[in-house]
Structures are given as C-alpha cells and as structure tokens.
Structure 1
Amino acid sequence: MTKLRISGLRNDLKQIEQLIKENYEESNTKINTTISEYRTDSIDIEQIVSILQVTFTGTIAITAILNTIINIQDKKKQSKIVDSEQQAISFDVETSDGNRVSLNIPTNINEIERQQYAKCIEKLIDNFLKPENRLFPENLYIKEQLNLEDLTIIQNLLFDLTNNLKNIRESIIQELTLDDQSTIFKFDLKTTDLVDLLLFSKNKRIYLVIEEAKKCKETFYILERENLFAFIEISDQIKIIDNIGYVRYEVEKLNVFDKLKKEILSLIPE
C-alpha cells in the first residue's frame, strides 16, 4: 500500500481530492482519500493543520498526483492572489517497502525543481519495482499456470500470514426490524480467518491487531508488488476490542490472484 500525506490550505486539499476522484473514477486503481485536521499546539487553537491522506496499491498514481499539485501551484503563480493563498503544499509519500520521500512544493516552482521532484519519485518507484528484489523468475501475470517453484513461494507467503494474523475481525452490518416496524442497523465485528477472508468477495474490510499487522509488513509488500493481494490500511485510528488495539484494513485481490485463483487457493492452509 502506498500512503500519501498532503498538507496545505484546506481549499487546496479539497481541490486535489476532487481531481483525484475525477481522474480515477473509472480506473482500475482503487484510491481512498480522507481530509483531517490536526492541532499542532494544544494551547493555541489557531494552529490547525489540514492533511489529505491518500492510499492505493502499487505506485502508478504517485506521479499523476504530484503533477496535479504542481499544476495547482502553477495556476496560483499565474493568478493575482493574496499572499495568504500562496502557501506551499507538502507532499509526503511512503511505499509499502518502507521507502519514503518528502517534498515541499511552493507556488514559485521552477523547471529545475520540477526535474528534481520527478527524479525523486522515479527513484522511489524504481526501488519498489527493482528486479533484484523479485521472488519470481518470471512475471506471474503473463503465465498460464504456476510451476512448482512459484507455488512454493506463494505457499510460504500465505503461511507467514496465517502464522501471524491470529485475530482477524470482519466488520458486519446487520439490518434489524424492531417491534414497532422501525429499522435499525447493528454494527458488529465477527472473528474470521484467512481462508474465509480470501475465498469470497473481491474486497473485504477487516480489523487487524496492530502488532500482528506489523509482523506482516514485508509480506504485505511482496504480495502487493507481485500483484496478488493488497492489504490497505484505510485508517490509522486505533479501535480497542477486548483491550487490544486494532487498525482498519481493506483486502483487495489483484490481477494475478484473479487469473490463477484456483491454484492459489489450494495453497491456503486450513
């Protein structure tokens, strides 16, 4: 999962969020966005920072979103606007392999800075995709079937997940009809396991124990890079269940899984 944290004027963030939604509305790239506000000084209520958080799988959207921000800043430079609207936009990106880049994009950006930003992002993406880190000799997506070596590697990855993710909770919403015929919705968290999680729907929202998820960080990265599964942290807010801290994730089955589903599911330990 790639995580972006973009900070700046709230109006700028709303515009960036809207453009992201429009650009990827019909795309296969699923993007989650949230705008939050944080107080940087508990005494001074005026010190409030707006943050746009963006999450998605892979690295394909990073460059496009950066260019969107640069274009917004360019338009400010070309317009006669007051100094209070000339604020720089901070762009912080972290890929699922743990690499991170932080950029500060002013309104008076020049061509040299543009090229520097582009090189930083290009290096980040290259590190994510670098061939020497790939587990599989060939791209799984172009294969008609998996060989024994491929199956063994995938089996080890799935074993790592089942060995570490012991307390998976699935969010369930039940519609209940009361005696007066009114309807209420009951939210519940049902215990589930990896087999149930991967056998059914295309996407599923779950809660993972914080410490268990940390143990699987490297495995999450490999599964995403190899286009098998994406474990997307869609909120960094901690939910306490039975005195244990959980974080909300979404699990997405990617192209290789969809193509080779039968073979991969046969590897999941019961």
Structure 2
Amino acid sequence: MCNSSKGNTHFLLTRSRRDQNFRIQPDALYLWSDSEIVLEWLRAHPSTWTTFVANRVALIQDATKSGIWRHVPCRQNPADVISRGAYVDELLTSFWFAGPAFLLKPCDQWPANKLCSVPEEDVEERRKQTTTLAAEVKKNSFIEWLEGRSDYVRTQKRVAHFLCIFRRIKGRHDKLPPLTTTMLDEALIRIAFCLQKHYFNNEYNALKRDGVVPSTSKVKCLSVFIESCYGVDILRVGGRLKNAKLPYDEKHPILLPGESNFVRSYIRYVHEKHMHVGTQALMAIMRQRFWIVNARKVVRS
C-alpha cells in the first residue's frame, strides 16, 4: 500500500525486490494507491506530463515494471492510519498490521480500478502542446517604448508630460502646466487604452462591430463593454456588481492584460506601496480599479 497525493507519491520498494533476490518468488506483484490521479499519471507515458511529474512517473514505472497498480479506497488504505496520526491503542485495534480484509479474498473480489473516472480538468500537470507559427507583426513604437519601461510612476509621469507637450503644440496651452492628479489619471487611462488596443484588438473590434466579444475570447465570461473616458474608448468589466453600492471603478474595473510588462510594473508598485501584502489582499486592492487577466498567476510570478 502507499499513501499518494497529486504532487507526491510515497512508496516502499527495496533494492532486493528490484533485484529479485527473494527466496520466494510471487506469482504477481500488486501495488496499491488511494489516489486516482496518481494512477492516471502512471497509466500514461512520462512524456505526457510536465517535467516534475514526468521524472517521478518514469522512476516509479521503471521500478515497478512487473507490478500491477490498483486502486484502494482511502478508508481501506492502512497507510492512512499512520499518515493521519493515531494513538497506540487506536493503532492496535486498526487494520495497520493485517491490512484490509479484502486481501484475504480472491482477486476478483478486490476493489475495482476506476479507469477514466477522473475528469480531464482534474488530471493536472499535463504537458502543454505547443505550435510555432511564423507571422509578420506590425510594430507599435509607443507600445515598444511602454513595455520597455520598468518604473510605473516615472512612466505615468512621462506620458502625462507627453500629453501636456502635445496640447501645447496644438495651441491648447501657452506653457506647460504643472502635473495634477487629473493629468496623471488621464495618462493612466490612455496607457490602458493603448494596451487594450494592442492586446485585446479582436475583442475591441468585435465590440465596436457586433456589441459582443468573440466566443473564443479569453475574456468572454467577463461581460466586457466599451465606455468613453478622457476622449478614448476603454474596455471595462461588467457583471452582477452593477447594482452594488460600490464605487463605479470597483463595479466595472478597467480590463488590463496580464502579460504586459507595464502591468507587471504596476503590480510591483502596488505591492510595495501596501507593504508587500499577500496575494489575495493585493488582488483585492488592484480590482478596486483594474481587472488584470490571469492576475493570480501574474502576482505569484
């Protein structure tokens, strides 16, 4: 018997068994696990899984070539008696020493293996299949400049200065005004607009054309809509919070791409500003205004 979990499988297998130095050779070698997911891993070739799991699957498969893996229900697994903790008197009255009662019965009366009973989404660590495509990508000089910056505050101020200079050239101002919170906020909105046009261009165009995002979009479930702000159309997240008594930005946060380097610099800024809070708290703070795609994965990285 062995005690197994998704990321770790503990089993006892001596070298004498591997070298077949037993005085009595068994007719068959049965190995038991209470984890259906681990058994699913062991049924497939190691290359099916990610490196961490593949290495361990290969080791176990090599060490148990002549073995037959079977499933044992958790309540009948003697390994659980120790792994979950037991007093001496409990241990003496448990089936730890003798094993489960079904082992004394014929093989056809043993617990059946539940083949393919684990949902596909629950079998984690599957190696992702990748396809390389060559395509000509039109470069956006502003996005290239923006994504090359690592300081969120300085980048925001630089864009605000750009807007002031642009308006002075257009004759809206005689001289460069000092930066205000409104100017900095507008700079941030326009940065978000440029990022959305670059990373969510298909969704943006579909909303403009049809009023809905494509069914294949990764933000399909977010009820995304377009709203004008500071003269640009930005993507906001919809949903059931529209009737909640919350600030508008919190009910409908602005959509941002998690893969953007600028967005990552913003996450670092918020993380440091709030004294390195945990993942959940950091996500809650950011979602008061922005909805970052795959935020949890980005924050943890």
Q: Quick check: TM above 0.5?
A: no
Higher relative contact order structure (alpha carbons within 8 Å, sequence separation ≥ 6): 1
Q: Structure 1-normalised TM-score?
A: 0.21
More helix by share: 2
More strand by share: 1
Return the index of the structure with the highest Cα Rg.
Answer: 2
Q: Structure 2-normalised TM-score?
A: 0.20
